[in-house]
């Protein structure tokens, strides 16, 4: 079986049609999807009206599902592997879920020693217009640096801090304290080699606080440069959601940004699964328990 793949933008992104993801996919189809994902960084599967269990079944074919135990306030109570991304509090099974508005360029879970490989986001309720998500190709961003800047960036390590989350200021003081406790600052290389493509990409984003060996004040201009440079128009794809679009993106070589260009009195709700990456970072404070197998700090 050959997938029907149509590129959505020059920089990254492709649409995959001809599949009903409610059905169990063959190993061959999963291998083809994986290759298309590695090649295109973001895939859109339109018209996939999946329930939480169906979404989990598809996503788990690509790796280990994050059960989100270190950040339970966004999870469905019945299926903790399924996060709800909503701009208003949503009640499911008697549990009121925390709002999630990701309006800052970031890579999912970069504040964890096991950052994410794939994220899968399925649109459930959309505002009448707007509420797009933008994605940036971090390979292209790296390739476009001068050789001198590439060589310097290759030497840098960055500290990622959960308290720089886009909506951290919306949390209660108790939730802020819990988030800091569960996710103490971690260190990742600023340039990472992708395990499947073998290409180098910049690993920056909104959680990046400073570089090891440099103060926050010294680091800030270069962090701002990496984030601005990486999100230039020519490196970006902007996805205008349709109902039941399932997006699958590669956090190892992209960043994304949820654009708040819609009537925020309207509900925007999506459901997300995330896959654990192998351990690729370390805790800044070596005294932290290395509970990386669970994603807990
Ligand atoms: C996310 O950062 O996973 C959510 C993106 C979105 O709301 O579009």
Shortest-distance Cα residue to atom 5 of ligand 1: 258
Ligand 1 site, residue 116, Cβ cutoff 6 A: no
As a whole number of angstroms, the distance between CA 43 and CA 4 comes to 12
Q: The whole model's pTM is what?
A: 0.95
Closest CA to 110 of 227, 268, 241: 227
Ligand 1 site, residue 86, Cβ cutoff 6 A: no
Closest CA to 139 of 206, 193, 188: 193
Whose tokens are 């699958």? That residue is 248
pLDDT of residue 291: 43
Ligand 1 site, residue 258, Cβ cutoff 6 A: yes
Ligand 1 site, residue 272, Cβ cutoff 6 A: yes
pLDDT of residue 67: 92
pLDDT of residue 288: 59
pLDDT tens column, 257-285: 999 999 999 999 999 999 999 998 999 98
Closest CA to 297 of 67, 68, 70, 65: 70
As a whole number of angstroms, the distance between CA 166 and CA 70 comes to 18
Domain extent at residue 150: 4-294
What is the whole-number distance in angstroms between the Cα of residue 40 and the centre of ligand 1? Answer: 19
Indicate which atom in ligand 1 lies nearest the CA of residue 270: 7
Ligand 1 site, residue 124, Cβ cutoff 6 A: no
Closest CA to 105 of 232, 12, 196, 217: 232
Cα distances from 190 to residues 22, 124, 203, 222, in angstroms, run 38, 34, 5, 11
Kindly report the CATH number assigned to the domain that includes residue 70: 3.60.130.10
pLDDT of residue 69: 87
Total number of residues shown for the chain: 297
Shortest-distance Cα residue to atom 1 of ligand 1: 102
What is the whole-number distance in angstroms between the Cα of residue 125 and the centre of ligand 1? Answer: 14
The H or E element spanning position 42 is: strand 42-45
Indicate which atom in ligand 1 lies nearest the CA of residue 102: 2
Shortest-distance Cα residue to atom 6 of ligand 1: 258
10 Å Cβ neighbour count for 212?
14
Shortest-distance Cα residue to atom 4 of ligand 1: 102
Q: Are 191 and 199 in contact (CB under 8 A)?
A: no
Closest CA to 138 of 274, 12, 43, 277: 12
Q: How many domains does the chain have?
A: 1
Ligand 1 site, residue 102, Cβ cutoff 6 A: yes
Pocket test for ligand 1, best of 267, 270, 274, 275 (most atoms within 8 A of CB): 270
pLDDT tens column, 240-252: 999 999 999 999 9
Ligand 1 site, residue 85, Cβ cutoff 6 A: yes
What is the whole-number distance in angstroms between the Cα of residue 21 and the centre of ligand 1? Answer: 21
Q: Are 159 and 186 in contact (CB under 8 A)?
A: yes
pLDDT tens per residue across all 297 residues of the chain: 678 999 999 999 999 999 999 999 999 999 999 999 999 999 999 999 999 999 999 999 999 999 998 889 999 999 999 999 999 999 999 999 999 999 999 999 999 999 999 999 999 999 999 999 999 999 999 999 999 999 999 999 999 999 999 989 989 999 999 999 999 999 999 999 999 999 999 999 999 999 999 999 999 999 999 999 999 999 999 999 999 999 999 999 999 999 999 999 999 999 999 999 999 899 998 765 544 434 443
What is the whole-number distance in angstroms between the Cα of residue 133 and the centre of ligand 1? Answer: 7
């Amino acid at each position: 079986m050959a997938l029907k793949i149509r590129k959505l933008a020059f920089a990254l992104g492709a649409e995959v049609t001809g599949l009903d993801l409610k059905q169990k996919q063959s190993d061959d189809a999963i291998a083809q999807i994986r290759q298309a994902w590695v090649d295109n960084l973001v895939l859109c599967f339109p018209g996939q009206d999946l329930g939480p269990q169906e979404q989990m079944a598809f996503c788990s074919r690509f790796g280990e599902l994050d059960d989100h135990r270190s950040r339970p306030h966004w999870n469905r109570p019945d299926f903790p592997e399924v996060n709800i991304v909503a701009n208003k509090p949503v009640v499911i099974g008697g549990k009121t879920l925390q709002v999630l508005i990701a309006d800052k360029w970031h890579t999912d879970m970069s504040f964890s020693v096991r950052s994410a490989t794939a994220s899968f986001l399925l649109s459930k309720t959309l505002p009448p217009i707007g509420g797009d998500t933008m994605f940036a190709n971090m390979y292209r961003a790296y390739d476009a640096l001068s050789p001198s800047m590439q060589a310097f960036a290759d030497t840098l390590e960055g500290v990622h801090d959960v308290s720089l989350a886009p909506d951290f200021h919306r949390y209660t003081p108790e939730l802020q304290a819990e988030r800091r406790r569960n996710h103490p600052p971690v260190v990742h290389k600023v340039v990472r080699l992708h395990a499947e493509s073998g290409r180098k990409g910049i690993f920056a984003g909104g959680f990046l606080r400073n570089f090891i060996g440099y103060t926050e004040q010294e680091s800030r201009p270069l962090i701002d440069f990496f984030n601005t440079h990486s999100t230039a128009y020519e490196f970006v794809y902007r996805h205008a959601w349709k109902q039941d679009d399932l997006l699958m993106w590669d956090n190892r070589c992209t960043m994304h940004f949820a654009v708040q260009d819609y009537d925020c009195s309207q509900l925007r709700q999506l459901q997300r699964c995330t896959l654990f990456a192998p351990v690729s970072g370390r805790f800044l404070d070596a005294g932290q328990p290395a509970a990386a197998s669970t994603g807990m700090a």
